[in-house]
Structure 1
């Protein structure tokens, strides 16, 4: 029961995490249109996500894809958002 609960909660968290980082897309388009924003928050989010990706990749005995997938998206979109804000 505990393992099933862990998988369900982790899956819900991963699903929500994906939408958190998809929320950067409008900001990226706004940045590209010339409405620049501060780059610090998405840059810090990208670094945080990178740490979680590394944690998920080094998890034993198996990789934690519930952590890796949404956070990898966070790394990519966070960096794109930060770079387009410059």
Structure 2
């Protein structure tokens, strides 16, 4: 494997982990929402829609892009849950 290919592979893994952490960070907002301190529902809804489109793109392209798919999959669920709990 070429040095550039190894770099891209590592970069994809790091970016995937960071994206998952970004969406897991919705947990405090979700907890606040459930305690009645509601956050704005728009941003997590837009994030969930964005993640859905990225997952569709990554899954259905000719050579599936698993890092992009896996990086965005949690964003769909956490974004929708953060959105739903922010509604009051």
TM-score (structure 1 length as normaliser): 0.92
Instruction: Kindly report structure 1 stretches of 4+ aligned residues shifted beyond 3 Å.
Output: none
* Aligned counterparts of 1:59 and 1:9: Cα–Cα separation in 2: 20
Q: SS at the partner of 2:38?
A: coil
* Aligned counterparts of 1:73 and 1:38: Cα–Cα separation in 2: 19
Q: Name the residue aligned to 1:65.
A: 66
Task: Tell me the matched-pair count.
Answer: 85
Cα displacement (A) at 1:5:
1.6
Q: Name the residue aligned to 2:58.
A: 56
Q: Aligned in 2, Cα 1:47/1:14: closer, same or farther, shift over 3 Å? A: same
Which of 40, 44, 53 is the equivalent residue of 1:38?
40
TM-score (structure 2 length as normaliser): 0.91
Q: Name the residue aligned to 2:84.
A: 83
Runs of 5+ unmatched residues, structure 1: none
Please report the RMSD computed on the Cα atoms of aligned residues, expressed in angstroms.
Answer: 0.9
* Aligned counterparts of 2:33 and 2:71: Cα–Cα separation in 1: 23
Q: Name the residue aligned to 1:7.
A: 9
